[in-house]
Structure 1
Amino acid sequence: MATSNKWLMSSFAYYLDFFTVPLFVFLIFCIAPFHPGQALAGLLAWSLVEYSAHRFLFHSLYRREHWTHHIDVLAYIGISGWKTNSVNAVLLLLAWLTGLTSVFAGLLIGYFCYISLHYVLHRPQHWAYRFIPGLVANHNLHHRKGIEKNFGVTSPLWDHVMRTYVRTEVIDTVEEDYMT
């Protein structure tokens, strides 16, 4: 499959969310009361958004752009921090007006976990890599050519619900049976 440079960005645009998302969450704590139950609902909602975007957008509608990431996992490929921060500013205003700032905080915390974990998953030398062996195995399997499974990066929850989860041992067993 051909690749695309459409989502290639500068290192600044790539790393911007690592600094601005915590600032958005801090701002939420400053402008409104915090409701833990709503934040958990936002976190759960994020996990579904993450799974759905990865499976139904990145692996279908934006397949060429996402495939570029599968080929070069360390390239600065994704949605620019300038765009995500613009959307986050509008969503923060809407959340504040509707009294759902804690839900939005949960969404942002989920997104921050996503970008952080995805960063670590592709860098075995990172100090946190050794603490997430299950997520590493799931993501490495997802990156193997021909395997359209394990779309959840921060959690396999929705892969289990949608029956798109597969363990490494299952694939290895199938490949061994095929080779013999």
Structure 2
Amino acid sequence: MSIRMDHTIPQVALMVAFGIFIWTLLEYTLHRFVFHIKTKRYWGNTIHYLLHGCHHKHPMDGLRLVFPPAATAILCVPFWNLIKFMSTPSTAPALFGGGLLGYVMYDVTHYYLHHGQPTGDVPKSLKKYHLNHHFRIQNKGFGITSALWDKVFGTLPSTKSADKSR
């Protein structure tokens, strides 16, 4: 749609990349401030458990690793409207497409980090980083697809070797 509205392929590629970049910040923010919110009341605890707590209680359960597609489709509507409001009509489709692609990459990556057997250095490191969040330091390491925002916001967990030297 953005190409049909007179943007060039390189421009659209840049907008899609920006949409992915924005998704990574949204991924980090949601995980840190919504999925790890401290609750004290029954309904807060129940909602938190249903949104994310059950995933931490059963991190290897394949049915608790990705957001249900129907719920994702419903949540796309307010995100689409927000992007339309914050951008121009010709850039909104590419930005939204990039954000949606970022979300799909997040879901696939998250599932793989729990159930895949990575052989390369980068996937192995990412799996170790994410499982560290689950099994060692749950109040750090909120990035799933990368540690970028944990580095930026100071929530990067220490390594075991750094812990031993203290």
What is the TM-score with the length of structure 2 in the denominator?
A: 0.73
User: Of 57, 63, 69, which aligns to 1:76?
Assistant: 63
Alignment of 1:131-146 (within 5 A): 131=120, 132-146=123-137
Kindly report the root-mean-square deviation, in angstroms, between the aligned alpha carbons of the 2 structures. Answer: 2.8
Q: How much does 1:130 deviate?
A: 2.3
AA matched with 1:43: I
Aligned-residue offset at 1:110: 0.6
What is the CA distance between 1:177 and its match in structure 2? 6.0
Distance 1:82 1:38, change over 3 A: same
TM-score by length of 1: 0.68
Change (3 A) 1:89 1:67: closer
Identity value in percent: 27
Q: For each residue in 1:80-112, what CA deviation from the matched residue of structure 2 results, as whole angstroms up to 9, or x when unmatched?
A: 211211232564576498221111111011101
CA contact (8 A) 1:69 1:75 kept: no
Q: Within 1, Cα distance between the matches of 2:62 and 2:111?
A: 11
Moved over 2 A (4+): 28-34, 61-65, 77-80, 86-99, 170-174
Amino acid at match of 1:76: L
- Aligned residue in 1 for 2:49: 64
Give the aligned length: 145
Deviates more, 1:32-41 or 1:140-149: 32-41
Which residue of structure 1 aligns with residue 27 of structure 2? Answer: 50
Name stretches of at least 5 consecutive residues in structure 2 with no aligned partner: 39-46
**2:85 matches 1:98:** no
Residue 118 of structure 1 contacts residue 153 of structure 1 at CA under 8 Å; is this kept in 2?
A: yes
1:37 partner letter: L
* Residue of 153, 160, 166 corresponding to 1:171: 160
**Counterpart position of 1:16:** none
Is residue 62–residue 111 contact of structure 2 (8 Å, CA) maintained in 1? Answer: no
The Cα shift of 1:30 comes to 8.8
**One-letter amino acid matched to 2:110:** H
